[in-house]
Amino acid sequence: VKTSFIQKLPTAKSNHRKFLQLFPYAIEQFNLNEYDLILSSSASIAKGVLTNQDQLHICYCHSPMRYAWDLYHQYLMEAGLNKGIKGMYAKYVLHKMRNWDINSTNRVDYFIANSEYIARRIKKVYRRESNVIYPPVNTRAFTFMAQKDDYYFTASRMVPYKKIDLIVRAFNDMPSKKLIVAGTGPDFEKIKKIAKENIQFLGFISDDDLKKNMQEAKAFVYAAEEDFGIVPVEAQACGTPVIGFGKGGLLETVLSNKTGVFFKEQTSTSLIEAVTYFEKIKFDAELIRLHAEKFSKERFEQEMKVYVENRYSAFCTGR
């Protein structure tokens, strides 16, 4: 692993975002001249590496940089940078980042999107076509269990866009239903304070405890709008249905009324309605597990191998 100079800057490991204006310059310092094929995995600036006409660059894109595009206003508000001198400077930096982001798409020969949802975003922002290859989920690490306990489960980093507070507020209004929450983050204490007695917080838990809770839960609850969403697939690998927000990548990983149900709005009322509807349906745990296998690590490796070999073969022939 070779890191950029940002790694050595003071406080970079604890708060790398304050060096945002240096990101494009940093990625352009990597000398990749000795390679024939470059694969970049990018949700921000990795696709901006410099290449030449004898190199093939394939970018596996998880999203155009969200803080500069679709999450621009939310990012500024949550960081407290929507007003004042600091706000003006942050907006200027993000404006420059958007210009660089668009210009650097010309350095990519082919885009792969991690979902149809992201393929549409790539088309909208970059005006580029892309092929979809879903990310790898280690489904073998999650054991199927048909027998479920009488509780709902969610696990996430406690940050605003994950909407854990929304889930907690919804279950506050369903006191007869037990919710177990796993994960830590900046909003942990704030969310814990608003929870009622039917909600249990585990904080940080081991992988084994995460699997156990996923296996035994009657449903995994997920309220974020994700580009793909690995965790809901892991839950399905346990044979556990998902109650999720019906937007983004989740629409591609959860089958409505077969491996889970959706709620239409990011509101506690909408989630409560989804839970009520969920409890009227009988789910087949074996079918849910089988569906999760469509996103396995082995499938990902095979699809990537075929895609890259075909593109590289055509590139060499054309050259």
197-255 tens-digit pLDDT? 999 999 999 999 999 999 999 999 999 998 898 999 999 999 999 999 999 999 999 99
pLDDT at 60 over 90: yes
Q: Given this model, what pLDDT does residue 108 score?
A: 97
245 Cβ contact partners less than 8 Å away, ≥ 6 residues apart? 163, 222, 223, 224, 225, 262, 263, 266
Q: Cα 317 to chain center, whole Å?
A: 36
Q: Residues 1-10: what's their mean pLDDT? A: 90
Q: Given this model, what pLDDT does residue 95 score?
A: 86
The pLDDT confidence band at residue 94, using thresholds 50, 70 and 90, is confident
Q: Report the sign of the C-alpha dihedral through residues 120, 123, 126, 128, in that order.
A: positive
Beta bridge partners of 241: none
Q: What is the pTM of this model?
A: 0.88
CA 166, CA 224: separation in Å to the nearest integer? Answer: 10
- Residue tagged 């037990």 (tokens): 178
The pLDDT confidence band at residue 196, using thresholds 50, 70 and 90, is very high
CA 92, CA 85: separation in Å to the nearest integer? Answer: 11
CB atoms within 10 A of CB 161: 17
